[in-house]
Amino acid sequence: MSAVWAIIVVVVAIAAGLGGYLYGKGQATSTSTTTVTYYDDLSPSEESFMTNVLIPQFEQNYTNINIQYVNIDAGSMVTKITALVQGNDVGTTLIAEDNLDIGELIYGGTGSTNYLMNITSIAPYIQPATMIPSMTAVTNYEATAFGGTYFLPFRANTPLVFYNKTALKSNGFTTSPANFTDLLADATTLGSSSVMFQGGAGDDTATEMFQWDVQFGGNPMVYNDLGDLQAMSYLYNLSKYMNPGYKQAIYSEYAGLAQGKYDILDYQWPYVYPLLTGGNTSIPAMNSNTLGVYPGPNGTGVHAAAHVIGGDVLAIPKGATNLWAIQLFAQYLLGAHAQQVLMVDTGNPAVNSQAYVGLPASQSIVDSAIEQALENPVFRPPVPWIETWVSNFYNDIFTPFVLDGTGGGAWSALVTDANNANSQMESYLSANVGSAAASQYAAGDYGPLYV
């Protein structure tokens, strides 16, 4: 799911003769009334907050702008925006897309036919000066990778580990697992069903494993790197202590921690914090005495404390109209107020550092963990074939080796599965992207982005 979140705001260069539009340092006014169609991929609780709180607050301040919210999953959004651009029917449209899928729109066509616009000249007026350094580094990366700025961070999401303090304490643990050795040892003591893992869906599982691979010193993009194999072998051993439900679990599986079904909720997005502490009335409310949260155990590789940064991105597709209204809404979403209330009420980490000023005391626990995690960011490369990479990983390695247990955890079986997935990826790139991309993949040129 929408599991870094990043914003992509793409606005065309400002031209003379725009009549009623006045642009200056990112400000715009108009006497006309318009509707901005805003596509986003949010969980039910996040959608409710967006439509009942954030959007109404914006519309109260800008009475000549209406926001029409459309909830659409990330994959369908790529298809929708592609069709709108190709049909010259974009209208007044802003999107918030998952950073895992944004490459499909950046590379969606060739040359002038891609589906997003270059905002190099206007990005400094949209991006807050108080952006978190790791998020600013993302836009710097774009200049090298794409020859211009195509997106700006919006909802920087990063996975955290949640755990039941009471359960750990009753088993003699005074602290959370500091590293992978501790995690396996603690799980052994806690017993079967003590750990929950997101093993039930391609994107969610691949996102979690991307981080595990990096922390083991691997390059998850190539499947058969030594660190990748070590991470998968470790996960196979840990799976003996997982709640059986992990085979179907996705990002929305968190209630079991409050219900005592497991003791450690392995990597989950921060938005579950307010839900575990009273935001979901169908489960027992946890508090600071019973709910623990931290960045998670460190790995064994060079980037042992790396945390994958995920999330949505805002974009203005090519051909959009009424750019003054789109620009104002994008600026609002990046502002300190919107960023802070998103963080407090939905658990989405802020990309604007000013949003962390004056937070309520109840928010300090999870925000401390978020800030620690953001100190060691790693990003998935925004390649247009990311979904194929996910599919190959999930179907050809994770499912047979961990879920089905084919090979009984044997190293040779794992190596065979990983080598096959790697070969399939090369063949796919050669047939669908080009021989150059296949050669680069074989050489290991595609990999995690460290900023």
Tally the domains of the chain. 2
Q: Which residue in 99, 309, 98, 306 sits closest to 212, CA to CA?
A: 306
Domain assignment present for 91 = yes
In single-letter form, the type of residue at position 52 comes to N
**224 and 256 co-located in one domain:** yes
Q: Which helix (H) or strand (E) holds 346?
A: helix 336-346
Range of the domain at 436: 159-308+383-445
Domain assignment present for 18 = no
Q: Which helix (H) or strand (E) holds 371?
A: helix 364-374
**238 and 287 co-located in one domain:** yes
User: Is residue 24 predicted with pLDDT exceeding 90?
Assistant: no
Domain assignment present for 227 = yes
**291 and 363 co-located in one domain:** no
**123 and 56 co-located in one domain:** yes
175 burial class (0-12, 13-18, 19+ CB within 10 angstroms)?
Answer: exposed
Domain assignment present for 15 = no
Q: Which residue in 247, 278, 287, 253 sits closest to 400, CA to CA?
A: 247
What pLDDT shows up at residue 44? Answer: 86
**251 and 392 co-located in one domain:** yes
Domain assignment present for 222 = yes
**301 and 217 co-located in one domain:** yes
Whole-prediction pTM: 0.78
Q: What is the CATH number of the domain that holds 322?
A: 3.40.190.10
Domain assignment present for 47 = yes
Q: How confident is the model at residue 29 (pLDDT cuts 50, 70, 90)?
A: low
**441 and 419 co-located in one domain:** yes
Separation of alpha carbons 173 and 281, rounded Å: 29
Separation of alpha carbons 119 and 116, rounded Å: 9
Q: How confident is the model at residue 7 (pLDDT cuts 50, 70, 90)?
A: very low
Query: Under the phi-then-psi rule, with left for phi > 0, alpha for psi from -120 to 50, and beta for the rest, what region is 9?
Result: beta
**81 and 194 co-located in one domain:** no
Mean pLDDT for all residues in the chain: 86
Cα-flanking dihedrals φ and ψ of residue 239, to 5°? Answer: -60, -20
What pLDDT shows up at residue 142? Answer: 78
Separation of alpha carbons 162 and 265, rounded Å: 5
**295 and 316 co-located in one domain:** no
Q: How far is CA 411 from the centre of its chain?
A: 31
- Tell me which residue has tokens 């600026």: 331
User: Is residue 145 predicted with pLDDT exceeding 80?
Assistant: no
**66 and 92 co-located in one domain:** yes
**145 and 272 co-located in one domain:** no
**288 and 333 co-located in one domain:** no
User: Is residue 113 predicted with pLDDT exceeding 80?
Assistant: no
For 190-241, the pLDDT digits (tens) are 999 999 999 997 788 988 899 999 999 999 999 999 999 999 999 999 999 9
Alpha-carbon dihedral sign for residues 415, 418, 421, 423: negative
